[in-house]
Structure 1
């Protein structure tokens, strides 16, 4: 019965379960799509593929009853075509002996001949199994490598997180210590000034109080003299007035101007620019203050003039006659500072307001001063620069644009040699501009370069400290 049902539910043309079945007058059923293709290929009036009876398309009716039966069997998961085994075709109940490489699925020989897989590349199931197994094994190997790589990346990110947390914790502690030192200094300075003010107040107050006592005593004495004179004047005894006249006259004439203390309150000590004075004194506790650098004329390009005791660098079109020594720049309009930096922390400031095009930073002492090279780390330079038109850039391994908030007039440069940090700031408000990170090994020198443009023919730089 199951075999007859399997045959009855299959289209005579495609040999598959009916799809949208239609019924001819002769009683045979076909898939609608199969019938439409059959009619389209017929040159004359079409004939039934089973009984060769002629028919017209208007006599083809949908077989809804058969369609419902097939749908019901699918819903109930009943029938041989609905329960294929793992090794047998769900449609033809034949063993799955082939593998369609185009559709990537096992099929039987009937499937291979049907229109769904006709002309597809089909290979024996054993051959396909070995090939697919090899592919999946290679996929496992690849995926295991991906997992290994991901785990390594995960561990790397975890390490970065740990290092970040350690770094920020150390920075927090360092910031707290630096501000604690300043807070302690300010607290001590405030207490000292308040104490000095109290001592000055007490010193002046004592003198003023002594003056008050002196004035009170003088008043009492004068009041007594006035009373004695008044008694004599009001007395009718003329002999008494004459007897005491000389004495009273001397007493009244003995009153001189009061001699008072003249305390001077040191107003200028307290009513003064206390903040500025305190800031000046704070330099004793601040470890990093502007270094007293100077331009080294021995390294200056012949078109650069050093003046103001080594604090001013100016471009001059007329080249001066200077010996071409090994330490002198000849192809760069550049100069070193006279101080070598090989350890510790340094900070210096440069006024660039009168500079046209400039480059600042540090350079290794071993750089070639006789060639015109890019001022990049690859050549021993770590620099930022400015060009006309408001263009700022940092020259790392690649030149990148930087964007200060405003047109900078003073640049602050900070170097921590051991930590490998070189940072640039707007010295007006210490806003950060750019930072280089590098493991420094060579002896470094503060580096400066300046050149003219159409806006300024004789630009200059000034070192500040």
Structure 2
């Protein structure tokens, strides 16, 4: 709509210093108008008292008085502009809501700010921002997205805009700060510092995204581990049910067989007793008849008949001697004991089959953690000979010519007191498994060692000194090197030994790979540093012992 304020030019009422409509306008002796505060502040910052417009110099500072007539005209212009602005605002704009920056110029209902000016330290709505988009001097002001507390962007000491950054003190400063307190410091424009900070933020953001991605992958890894553990648990439960079911079947079968034998013996005893009772009854019948005859003849009056029959009456009929006859079973002679003994043997055989079956399943499971193991020549005792591929080591009998110099010979990594060598790779988490051929050796020591193990002096070869090993000597002497050592009883002499470590689980286990049998396990271990595969070839004290340790590839189909 037509506006009366548009008949007047806004530039006619604009201070050339603040580039805004005059406030308390004053006139200089040369005839130019300025805001009273603007011209006073301008002269306070300069040594010469000049007019900012024509550069006329005044040798004495003029006494400034408000141009009341011009002030009334300016106030009238402001009222007209505010009225026009309110009319436009009522039709085109909406008030600022909670959390939004409001216009600092609006009176009454304050509209949402569109921009904030760092020169004016004021936030403007769309209508009040128009002078900054139209007036030449205002166009040079720096506009940013609306922000609150613009006064915080002013230097508290010099009341100037914070437009520089002191890298020495890591703080925002104004131009006057650089010329005074921060004169010798390294300062750059805020834009330059922000650019570098944004680069750093971008790098940090990428790092955080990478960390998030790593944690997402770890979450999936943990979920996968839980799923694997669940399947392992289900498999172990199924295997245990099968083992105990087989054992129960054996017990029930032995019980049924024992009951059947007892019942058969009882039946046989009953049949024999029935036969004896029948015979006894027959003899009792015959004896009863004889007793009747004897009684009759003892009372007869016929003397001749008595004398004639007496010889036959005195001749006894054949009867059995029952004094040694008895009826019993042999249950009291150890029948139950023999049955239990046979059951024990059956269960032992069944348990051995079950253990071998479970050990086979266990080995197939842990072989999935097979690790690539090679020998570290820098740790090998001088009497040991390593193959070129670092997969074999044997006792050489004499000091070998080492490829390194004397200083390297005495390095802290090399064993000097034990015929030992470590695996090149170390493990500080998770699980790992490797297999070593020990065939043909008369004596050996095998397992894992912590990285800080003493390599120059004699040690107890126990977990206390950082070793978890199994020892073999002769044909049938096996020991787990605890403190004191634990003797082991093996049914078969190992040709290939498997070593499994669960770092977090605190477990070190040994297996006879060919026999699919468990040898020994260190449980409840606490690992606090890196672990290395450990090999001790031993010497020829117990006989020829030149056969090598051979690190073998794991055959998952065994």
TM-score w.r.t. the length of structure 1 is 0.47
TM-score w.r.t. the length of structure 2 is 0.40
Q: Higher relative contact order by CA 8 Å / sep ≥ 6: 1 or 2? A: 1
